[in-house]
């Protein structure tokens, strides 16, 4: 398993892209594979031995080639590429044609075409988002908007996540503008806007997953809510439902960081910072309805990312510099018991190798 982290340039204690082993359901730290500044999110090429990492504080995006003889070693592959302010996420096209990086600091969504070997072959900035609430702040409904940075748009755009959809399109979140944006990829052009969904003002959509039914589940960082998006016959999505992550409601200081979906789509796990818990939601009606089913402590502080591997859950606790492992109940999806805690410097991402 590859691990991302925050390093000294972002007040973290990590060293770079790391390697962990999971044996018999128990994780163990191995070594740092590439010393680099704050590789806070990672992704793999679908068909080439290439790993991609953002450099969040350094505003960079780069590729590493996985060693031919030692799959736990990385070598820089090509030039370091410019990203945007606080670039925090990367996703790779399932066909290996391009990668998409999202930038929290300035709202940029950047498409990086990839060559046949997985090398970064270009950089194309997608059209900027427009705040749907800028025309009437606090109104709670979309209305006439002004471009980002205008006097009528005081809120910053904050792109945070990209998801490759089953139909070939790309979805990205903008938690500053309460938007989920949908794109089509065109070679030589980059990401072309398809449509967008406006969520309730102040929702701050952060990460998202796609249910086997095609529905998209989006978690609101500040609203601590899961929003369900459904596509109409013409392929345009709409907000279908919203579900609180916690049955008892969020407390002051609670923010959501990650959402994951069990492989058959039966339950959802959500990391909640502040309260520092992992919440379980049961999925009903093929993703149309969710139901909060409880939460347990994450075993550390500030759970930034988590990963489900069958009936194993691994949690990257950024604040306590640890990765905790839990056994999941295979029938209910609930977090059953903590089985390990591993010291890892300021972990921010967990990626199966």
Residue range 293-335, pLDDT digits in tens: 999 999 999 999 999 998 999 999 999 999 999 999 988 888 9
Report which DSSP code applies to 133.
T
Nearest to 55, CA basis, from 74, 40, 66, 43: 40
Nearest to 343, CA basis, from 20, 17, 11, 36: 20
Chain-centre distance for alpha carbon 105: 15
Residue 10 backbone phi and psi in degrees, to 5 = -125, 30
Structure-block tokens of residue 250: 């969020």
Residues 6 or more apart whose CB falls under 8 angstroms from that of 233 comprise: none
Give the HSE-up count for residue 175: Cα atoms under 13 Å, Cβ half-sphere.
24
Q: What is the dihedral of CA 97, 101, 107, 109, to 10 degrees?
A: 0
Angstrom distance (rounded) from CA 280 to CA 256: 13
Residue 136: band (very low, low, confident or very high) from pLDDT cuts 50, 70, 90: low
CATH 2.130.10.10 fits 40-202, yes or no: yes
pLDDT average, residue stretch 168-191: 98
Q: Is 261 helix (H, G, I), strand (E, B) or coil?
A: strand
Q: Which pLDDT belongs to residue 57?
A: 97
pLDDT above 70: residue 146: no
Q: Which residues pair with 349 in a beta bridge?
A: 4
Angstrom distance (rounded) from CA 51 to CA 56: 16
pLDDT above 80: residue 166: yes
Q: Which pLDDT belongs to residue 331?
A: 83
Angstrom distance (rounded) from CA 138 to CA 216: 26
Which pLDDT tens digit goes with each residue over 271-287?
Answer: 999 999 999 999 999 99
Q: Which pLDDT belongs to residue 149?
A: 45
Alpha carbon distance, N-terminus to C-terminus of the chain? 5
Q: How many angstroms separate the Cα of 332 from the Cα of each of 210, 265, 280, 293, 351? A: 20, 12, 9, 9, 24
Return the percentage of the chain with pLDDT > 70, whole number.
95
Nearest to 350, CA basis, from 39, 113, 9, 105: 39
pLDDT above 70: residue 231: yes
Mean pLDDT rounded to a whole number for the chain? 94
Q: Which pLDDT belongs to residue 25?
A: 85
pLDDT average, residue stretch 114-139: 89
pLDDT above 70: residue 147: no
pLDDT average, residue stretch 228-257: 96
Residue 205: band (very low, low, confident or very high) from pLDDT cuts 50, 70, 90: very high
Q: Which residues pair with 138 in a beta bridge?
A: none
Residue 153: band (very low, low, confident or very high) from pLDDT cuts 50, 70, 90: low
Biggest CA pair distance of the chain? 59
Domain extents in the chain: 40-202
pLDDT average, residue stretch 58-78: 96
Q: Which pLDDT belongs to residue 143?
A: 36
Report which DSSP code applies to 198.
E
Instruction: Check the CA dihedral 130-134-136-137 and report its sign.
Output: positive
Q: Which pLDDT belongs to residue 330?
A: 83
Q: Which pLDDT belongs to residue 24?
A: 86
- The 10 Å Cβ neighbour count of residue 239 is 16
Q: Which pLDDT belongs to residue 321?
A: 98
pLDDT average, residue stretch 85-108: 98
pLDDT average, residue stretch 151-163: 85
Residue 135: band (very low, low, confident or very high) from pLDDT cuts 50, 70, 90: confident
pLDDT average, residue stretch 146-161: 72
Q: Is residue 6 packed enough to be buried (19+ CB in 10 Å), middle (13-18) or exposed (0-12)?
A: buried
Structure-block tokens of residue 110: 């950047």
């Amino acid at each position: 398993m590859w691990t991302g982290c925050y390093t000294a340039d972002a007040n973290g204690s990590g060293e770079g892209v790391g390697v962990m082993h999971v044996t018999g359901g128990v994780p163990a730290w191995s070594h740092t594979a590439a010393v680099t500044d704050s590789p806070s999110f990672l992704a793999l090429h679908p068909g080439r031995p290439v790993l991609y990492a953002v450099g969040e504080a350094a505003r960079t995006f780069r590729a590493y080639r996985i060693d031919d003889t030692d799959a736990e070693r990385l070598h820089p592959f090509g030039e370091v590429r410019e990203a945007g302010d606080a670039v925090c996420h990367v996703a790779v096209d399932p066909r290996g044609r391009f990668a998409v990086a999202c930038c929290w600091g300035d709202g940029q969504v950047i498409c990086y075409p990839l060559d046949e070997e997985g090398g970064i072959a270009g950089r194309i900035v997608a059209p900027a988002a427009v705040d749907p609430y800028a025309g009437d702040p606090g109104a709670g409904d979309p209305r006439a908007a002004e471009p980002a940075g205008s006097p009528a748009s005081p809120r910053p755009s904050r792109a945070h996540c990209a998801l490759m959809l089953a139909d070939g399109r790309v979805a990205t979140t903008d938690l500053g503008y309460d938007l989920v944006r949908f794109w089509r990829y065109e070679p030589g052009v980059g990401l072309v806007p398809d449509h967008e969904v406006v969520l309730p003002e102040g929702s701050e959509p952060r990460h998202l997953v796609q249910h086997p039914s095609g529905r998209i589940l989006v978690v609101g960082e500040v609203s601590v809510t899961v929003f369900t998006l459904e596509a109409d016959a013409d392929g345009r999505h709409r907000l279908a439902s919203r579900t609180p992550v916690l049955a008892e409601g969020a407390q002051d200081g609670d923010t959501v960081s990650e959402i994951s979906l069990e492989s058959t789509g039966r339950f959802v796990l959500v990391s909640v910072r502040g309260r520092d818990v992992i919440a379980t939601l049961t999925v009903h009606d093929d993703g149309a309805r969710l139901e909060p089913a409880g939460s347990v402590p994450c075993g550390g502080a500030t759970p930034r990312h988590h990963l489900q591997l069958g009936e194993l859950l691994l949690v990257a606790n950024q604040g306590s510099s640890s990765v905790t492992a839990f056994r999941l109940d295979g029938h209910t999806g609930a977090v059953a018991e903590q089985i390990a805690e591993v010291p890892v410097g300021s972990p921010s991402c967990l990626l199966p190798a």
